[in-house]
Amino acid sequence: MGAGFSTVTPPAQSATSVAQAVWSYSPRSLTEMQNLVSAIQNNDPSLLSTPSDILYVPVPYYAGQVTADQAAAFIDNLIRNYNMPGAIANFITNYMYGPWTPNTVGAFLSSLNMSQTSVALLLAYAGATQMGQALSYLSGNYTNVLTPSTW
């Protein structure tokens, strides 16, 4: 359990219903959601209501309010410019049945807006075992990220 929502999501649930459930269980306001969407669209974490809203970055993607590329650019910015690879890796590994599903993480990681540096940092923080499922959804060739000689 974490952040006020169940970490168990039945496989038959759609991404939209997961997003709605995440926002309905926690005391969220429309302003917080708008701030999160705006922060992602503008690639500006300072627009967030609170830093803990980073946990919910996938939710506007599920709701169709931002694209995978916009979310990937925002995550890449958090990792590279705000030194948050550990926090993002934590969300990926601990909330995979909540907002950070492997399909969603795969969509973010395969975006051209997600640098190989960020993917490598996430891999280093989360570990190959935990990231393996998300990495399996990559459409690009990230085998060089997995080679120790590039670390």
The closest of 4, 11, 51 to 32, measured between CA atoms, is: 51
72: alpha, beta or left? (left if phi > 0; alpha if psi -120 to 50) = alpha
Report, as ranges of residue numbers, the positions in the chain whose pLDDT lies below 70: 1-31, 128-151
Give the model's pLDDT for residue 151: 44
Give the model's pLDDT for residue 95: 87
Give the model's pLDDT for residue 94: 87
Give the model's pLDDT for residue 80: 95
User: How far apart (Å, rounded) are the C-alpha atoms in residues 1 and 85?
Assistant: 22
Give the model's pLDDT for residue 32: 75
Measured CA distances, 116 to 43, 45, 94, 111, 142 (Å): 18, 21, 22, 10, 8
